[in-house]
Chain A
Amino acid sequence: MFKYLFAKNEEIPPGTAAVYFGFSSILWFVIGTGLGSFNAAKLAFPDFVTGYEYFSFGHMRQVHVMAVIFGWISMAFAMAMMYITPALGNTRLWSEKLGIWNCFLWNAGLSLGLTLLWMGMTSGREYSDFPWFIDLVVLFGVILPLGINVWMTIMKRRTQGIYTTNWFFGSAVFMVWIVLLVGNLPEYFQLTGLTEAYLTWWFAHNVLGLWITPVAAAIAYYTVPKVTGNPLYSHRIGHLHFWSVVVFYSTPAAHHLMSSPLPEWLKSFASVEGVLILVPAIAFVSNLLLTMTGKWRFFVDNVEIKFTITGVLMAIPLNMQGGFQQTRAINWYIHGTGWIVAHAHLALLGFSTFLEAAAVYYGLQTIMRRKLYSLTLANFHFWFLLIGFTIYWVSMTIAGLIQGAAKIYEVPYIDTVIAEHPYMIARWVGGTMVFTGNLVWLYNMWMTARAGTAIPAGRLPHELAYER
């Protein structure tokens, strides 16, 4: 990588930045889920690794969350943008060199940020935990260069129209930049009180709603038509999805603070808007499932589609939960319980991760022109992720319902802790399966780069999946 940092743009082979981003994301995925599994072990067995400040739960939890969001998910997004945006514009990436610098700054900034968080240098605000100077690195070293590359590639495209995926990419990078800027105002200007609390959740909500969800969806809009060969079922529904994300997903931030003393009108408004998130969700899911018409065999025999469609299917329970759990009628029961942790993992480890994993699988094979080293290992990865995640989700949902009931019936708190214990162990087992699957994935991708069969010109990787 370092040799390209100072090379001329023309001398860098196209796709290099995407490959670097791809491997970085997988590496962060392994690290992030490893940390998750470590944290889960601590919640199940509190005396597991005890007595060291740096290994205590309170120091490690945010490192896991930030590593998976800004390392795995966001880098996989960057990887997808670096190869999908030019592919859809029938052109090259605007600046491969900027892409490589972007990847370098991103890895360096994230490693620094996570180390500081780990040491306890935190802003004390969930999801915007990084100290403010790291936020500035993220704004200007991470998101802005990415945005410039994506926007310029779209401007310099050699097609007439802009495909759905690219609207989402272009606008999501812009929106997340604004969200990072505004959401961290409390840290730059030391805002206090309810303003700080509200902006914390305004940030948290919008980073999920205007970054993680739409970009993941945009990736699926590319992968499914590309691999199956079917055109997207409907561009109109794509429009509906896009505009309803912008309008409905950017407004319900206050539903994270339903039991705080925020203005009542704001909470009610957020709640209504939150239900309306079902509009983009249904548009997205139906559009993709209808695109699959006639090509459902791919769901069985193609890894990328298996991942993508599983992710899309998970968007159904995800949004059903999301839309309704934030209304007052339900929120009081499950707020702040393990149910929410299960929901967060359904969104990030279920829905989003599965879509990005497909993009990384597909992208790395296409750019490196190498067939996947082992399809068996890829299937192993898929099933470990799916089963591990399911165990996680089921156990945390049950734990959440127990906590909810205990909260309402005012059971002595310790009885809740005791009742949850088996589910904490189950969660740890499930999460460790995910981690194991990822180790296998890293190996598989590494071997693909080193020993994968070369793909002849004019062929697509998935066409060769079952050829020797």
Chain B
Amino acid sequence: MAFREYKIGARLFGVALGLSMMITLYMPSLNIVEVGSTEMGLRKGLQYGRIGGFSVEDPFLKGEGKPLTVILKQDPRSGEQIEPVYAYVYKSGIPFTSAIRHPRIMGKGVEDLSLDTGRIGEATEKAGAVFVVSEGRWQGKKIHYIENATATRGWTPDVIMNSVTDADVRYIGAGKIMFVKEGCWWCHTLLPEETQDWQVFGAPPRLGDFNSESPTALGSDRKAPDLLHIGSRNSSREWMMMHFFNPRLVQPHSIMPRFDYLWGPADAQGNTIDYDKWRAEYNEYTAGKRIYPPDVPEPAANSEARKLIDFVLNLK
């Protein structure tokens, strides 16, 4: 280093960079770990599963290794009618969401209730488990926590899946993967802005709304409506189906790409989808040679399109 100045300089450089990291990384992390998860935060974590981008269990982002969200209208064991509950079903071997693996990230209170009352510590990935979100009290305040329904109510994944039909199952976790893989977040945000978006796009997220979600895919560059509350604005599966197949069927000026390829080879009835024919007919329609556009095929139950629509409609 030859000069004394360089030694001093190198040390000062270390101090400056260290200080900057302390302020921008360490100090905010103190605030962030204190945040208690909200009900929305808990539900998001549970329905999306462990990780939403590239991961070892789902390297090609096909939506594998994700939990299922099931809407229960009757008690799966007794068959009694109950208030509809969302149950998050992790079949055997499906990796748990971070909140279950590291309950600490839910914040004090939520962590305590989930461990003591909710018994989430007893769940294992090997056996699989079913979780629900319940309401409890902590230091006099009403808060939500995660309940391991397999331990508390005997709802195992098999019991649940045998008591419902496919119509009650939502592939929200897999749908989030489609959202990430297809790059919807390059055009759509999931972050209504605090200053002006309340009226049209709904309330901005609160502090504890994402505790167990990754990636958050908030989006930075908005070329299209915010989707955080799209399910409350528009709950029509039919509309979504047409819009994803070809956005210009319902919105002639849209610049959204067609996502028809998410339908895969066959439709819900098992018929092969003839894309070339569909496109040719659609071109005739736009050229004014047909009065009606061709019909949009209904997506098959296990198609990527169905999963994506499940995800989008659940953004409430």
User: How far, in angstroms, from A236 to B61 measured CA to CA in the complex?
Assistant: 52
A270 / chain B contacts, CB cutoff of 8 Å: 24
A413 engages B224 (CB within 8 Å): yes
B204 engages A259 (CB within 8 Å): yes
The chain A residue with its CB closest to the CB of B105 is A192
> Is residue A451 contacting chain B, with contact meaning CB distance below 8 A?
no
B217 / chain A contacts, CB cutoff of 8 Å: 124
> Is residue B211 contacting chain A, with contact meaning CB distance below 8 A?
yes
Partner of B54, one of A131, A196, A340: A131
Which listed segment binds A: B121-129, B141-149, B192-200, B289-297?
Answer: B192-200
B31 engages A263 (CB within 8 Å): yes
- CB neighbors of A among B1-38 (8 A): 2-3, 6, 9, 12-13, 16-17, 20-21, 23-25, 27-29, 31-32, 35
User: How far, in angstroms, from A189 to B189 measured CA to CA in the complex?
Assistant: 25
B216 engages A121 (CB within 8 Å): no
User: How far, in angstroms, from A182 to B18 measured CA to CA in the complex?
Assistant: 13
- CB neighbors of B among A168-204 (8 A): 171, 175, 178, 182, 186-187, 190-198, 200, 202
Known A250-B17, A259-B195, A417-B253: A119·B214 in contact at CB below 8 Å: no
A410 engages B199 (CB within 8 Å): yes
User: How far, in angstroms, from A121 to B177 measured CA to CA in the complex?
Assistant: 10
> Is residue B59 contacting chain A, with contact meaning CB distance below 8 A?
yes
B248 / chain A contacts, CB cutoff of 8 Å: 46-47
Min CB gap A277→B, angstroms: 13
A160 engages B2 (CB within 8 Å): yes
> Is residue B275 contacting chain A, with contact meaning CB distance below 8 A?
yes
The chain B residue with its CB closest to the CB of A204 is B220
Partner of B221, one of A52, A195, A340, A418: A340
User: How far, in angstroms, from A198 to B28 measured CA to CA in the complex?
Assistant: 9
A259 / chain B contacts, CB cutoff of 8 Å: 191, 193-195, 204
- CB neighbors of B among A49-107 (8 A): 50-53, 56-59, 61-62
The chain B residue with its CB closest to the CB of A43 is B255
Min CB gap B33→A, angstroms: 8
User: How far, in angstroms, from A160 to B253 measured CA to CA in the complex?
Assistant: 65
Min CB gap A401→B, angstroms: 14
B211 engages A59 (CB within 8 Å): no
B20 engages A247 (CB within 8 Å): yes
B219 engages A62 (CB within 8 Å): no
User: How far, in angstroms, from A260 to B16 measured CA to CA in the complex?
Assistant: 27
Partner of A403, one of B45, B191, B222, B247: B222
> Is residue A462 contacting chain B, with contact meaning CB distance below 8 A?
no
User: How far, in angstroms, from A276 to B203 measured CA to CA in the complex?
Assistant: 32
> Is residue B256 contacting chain A, with contact meaning CB distance below 8 A?
yes
A121 engages B29 (CB within 8 Å): no
A417 engages B257 (CB within 8 Å): no
> Is residue B268 contacting chain A, with contact meaning CB distance below 8 A?
no
Known A47-B258, A62-B183, A335-B193: A251·B215 in contact at CB below 8 Å: no
> Is residue B202 contacting chain A, with contact meaning CB distance below 8 A?
no
Min CB gap B88→A, angstroms: 16
B53 engages A124 (CB within 8 Å): yes
If over half of B's interface residues share one DSSP class (helix, strand or loop), that class is named, otherwise mixed; here it is loop
A194 engages B35 (CB within 8 Å): yes
A262 engages B28 (CB within 8 Å): yes
Known A122-B53, A192-B210, A259-B194: A336·B222 in contact at CB below 8 Å: yes
Complex interface bits, A221-246 against B, C-beta within 8 A gives 1, otherwise 0: 00000000000000000000001001
A123 engages B253 (CB within 8 Å): no
Known A171-B13, A193-B212, A261-B206: A122·B253 in contact at CB below 8 Å: no
Min CB gap A423→B, angstroms: 12
A417 / chain B contacts, CB cutoff of 8 Å: 223-224, 253-255
Min CB gap A308→B, angstroms: 27
> Is residue B251 contacting chain A, with contact meaning CB distance below 8 A?
yes
A336 engages B220 (CB within 8 Å): yes
B24 / chain A contacts, CB cutoff of 8 Å: 202, 250-251, 253-254, 266, 270
A131 / chain B contacts, CB cutoff of 8 Å: 53-54, 59
Known A59-B182, A192-B105: A332·B193 in contact at CB below 8 Å: yes
User: How far, in angstroms, from A187 to B50 measured CA to CA in the complex?
Assistant: 12
> Is residue B98 contacting chain A, with contact meaning CB distance below 8 A?
yes
A190 engages B207 (CB within 8 Å): no
A341 engages B261 (CB within 8 Å): no
Complex interface bits, B81-116 against A, C-beta within 8 A gives 1, otherwise 0: 000000000000000001000000100000000000
User: How far, in angstroms, from A408 to B198 measured CA to CA in the complex?
Assistant: 11
Partner of A61, one of B9, B186, B195, B206: B186
A122 engages B180 (CB within 8 Å): yes
Known A46-B257, A337-B222: A124·B215 in contact at CB below 8 Å: yes
A46-B254, A186-B215 are known contacts; what are 13 more A-B pairs with Cβ within 8 Å?
Answer: A50-B258, A124-B217, A125-B53, A192-B214, A246-B20, A250-B17, A256-B220, A259-B204, A263-B32, A336-B219, A410-B199, A417-B223, A424-B255
Chosen A-B contacts, 27 in total, with CB atoms closer than 8 Å, are: A44-B255, A56-B257, A57-B187, A122-B53, A160-B2, A186-B214, A190-B50, A190-B214, A192-B45, A192-B210, A193-B214, A195-B32, A196-B215, A197-B216, A246-B13, A246-B20, A250-B17, A251-B20, A251-B23, A254-B28, A260-B205, A261-B205, A263-B31, A335-B193, A337-B222, A410-B196, A413-B224
